Amino acid sequence: MVGAEQVAAFFKAVMIKQPDLIVSEAVVNYQPGLIGSSHGRVIAVVATQITGTRISNIWAVRNPEKLHLWHNELSEGEPHVLRIA
């Protein structure tokens, strides 16, 4: 996907398909990011790369083995600064 309109349309479609999704701001890989949760469980982490004043790349992780670290962090109420691979 390239361009703000395509990316916005993608995220809108995801939100429509999962109306119980809660999206929270987080620091991911020391950059602005998002955490998607549903029913108290982290189901996605979105990392961004900022170039200048624009988002130049977006990565999304949905692998439960990697997301368990985020669920633990949310449960403890700690600041969210974790690296995703």
Residue 7 corresponds to which tokens in the numbers above? 């990316």
pLDDT of residue 77: 52
Note the pTM of the prediction, 2 decimals: 0.72
31 residue type, one letter:
Q
Question: Taking a C-beta distance cutoff of 8 angstroms, is the pair 48, 67 a contact?
Answer: no
CA 15 vs CA 20, 21, 63: distances in Å: 8, 7, 19
Question: Taking a C-beta distance cutoff of 8 angstroms, is the pair 57, 50 a contact?
Answer: no
Query: Does the pLDDT at position 41 exceed 60?
Result: yes
Query: Does the pLDDT at position 52 exceed 80?
Result: yes
Query: Does the pLDDT at position 78 exceed 60?
Result: no
Residue 16: how many other CB atoms lie within 10 Å: 9
Element (H, E) at 59: strand 54-61
